[in-house]
Amino acid sequence: MNVGGKFNEGILFLNFNQDFSCIAVGTPEGYKIFNSDPYALYYSQSNGGAGLVEMLFSTSLVSIVGSGDGNTSQRRLLINNIKNNIPICDLNFVTAILSVKMNRKRIVVIMETKIHIYDINNMKLLETREIASNPKGLCALSPSNTNYIVYPASQNNGNILVMDILTLETVNLIQAHKSQISALALSQDGTLLATASDKGTVIRVFALPYANKSLSFRRGSIPAIIHSMTFSLDGRYLCVSSDTGTIHIFKIDFSSSNPSSSSYHQPQPSSSPSGGMMGLNFGGLTSKMSSYLPEVISQVWEPSRDFAHIKIPPGIPSICALMQNNKTVMVLTADGLYLQYNFDESVGGELKLAKEFSLLMEPDLDHDVTAKIL
């Protein structure tokens, strides 16, 4: 989450790694990486402002994009081995980098109208794909070998494009909402997609790749800006944070709900010789694939309410996630707090604060944690 120092001048960027075991913080001086539990600092670098910091699980591979201040550039991607302090790759682009996503096979660099896909093993450029205008850099990449990537298909509606990032083929075009997309998330195994529109009142979850099953959750009746959505590692819960100050935890259970379902056949859109869609007319793609869209919006099931929730001060962007044991909800706030809440799967309701840390008052460097993670 890029916050640009708007809520605390010492915090430019916040994020968890793919399995929520680490926290990455971008600052005006550089970046820091913490262990999430137990909370401990295990790496700090001061070589210029970091506007984006992305980890590859708990490995030593870290991608950094500058903040644009001083000698740093928002168009430059640095990939470093922080264990040995060795630069691995240095890439420069024509326009600003809005987001970077990584899994064990691919690195995806997202600009407003393009995505660049690289083989993580040798940093070979596999494809540059033209996309609809995406000024927020919205994109989600499956951490697992399922290797789906999803991003908005248009700025004018709530359609989402699902792509296999290994074959570079489009798998599906999902009509998720009527208005434009504001947030996306994929589960760890890549089989679940969570979506929210710019209204922020209803959250939807689709079973991938065909979206023949879906769930709807009611966040609230008042429009809100969705700041983050994350699935628990086992895919049984979805955490959603917004500007209202309430963090919602929804229970994912297709068996006890009325999921929408429809008969669906995988589309076969035309592609470039490499299997991609570089230069393809996006309006034409949307029109061509519209006949395949599952009728998920027309369902009239009443959206489910949250199973549990957390109250924090409204107006401050936050990121939320569940620890591996599903007993603790972690919250990172744009003003520099790291909060832990006890979560009882048998009770739900409003969660109580258990621990609070400051991301600016860093703990001592934990060499035991460093040796374990790196």
**Extents of the domains making up the chain:** 13-260+281-368
Supply the CATH classification number for the domain 13-260+281-368. 2.130.10.10
Is-contact 230 185, C-beta < 8 A?
yes
Q: Residue 235 and residue 231: Cα distance in Å, rounded?
A: 6
pLDDT at 369: 54
Report, as ranges of residue numbers, the positions in the chain whose pLDDT lies below 70. Answer: 256-302, 362-374
pLDDT at 273: 34
pLDDT at 186: 98
Q: What is the pLDDT of residues 95-114, one digit of tens each?
A: 999 999 999 999 999 999 99
User: Cis peptide before 209, with omega less than 30 degrees from 0?
Assistant: yes
Query: Comparing C-alpha atoms, which of 99, 105, 4 is closest to residue 61?
Result: 105
CB count within 10 Å of CB 105 equals: 16
3-state secondary structure the chain: CECCCCCCCCCCEEEECCCCCEEEEECCCCEEEEEECCEEEEEEECCCCEEEEEECCCCCEEEEEECCCCCCCCCEEEEEECCCCEEEEEEECCCCCCEEEECCCEEEEECCCEEEEEECCCCCEEEEEECCCCCCCCCEECCCCCCEEEEECCCCCEEEEEEECCCCEEEEEEEEECCCEEEEEECCCCCEEEEEECCCCEEEEEECCCCCCEEEEECCCCCCCEEEEEECCCCCEEEEEECCCEEEEEECCCCCCCCECCCCCCCCCCCCCCCCCCCCCHHHHHHHHHHHCCCCCCCCCCCECCCEEEECCCCCCEEEEECCCCCEEEEEECCCEEEEEECCCCCCEECCEEEEEECCCCCCECHHHHHHHC
Is-contact 131 114, C-beta < 8 A?
yes
pLDDT at 372: 53
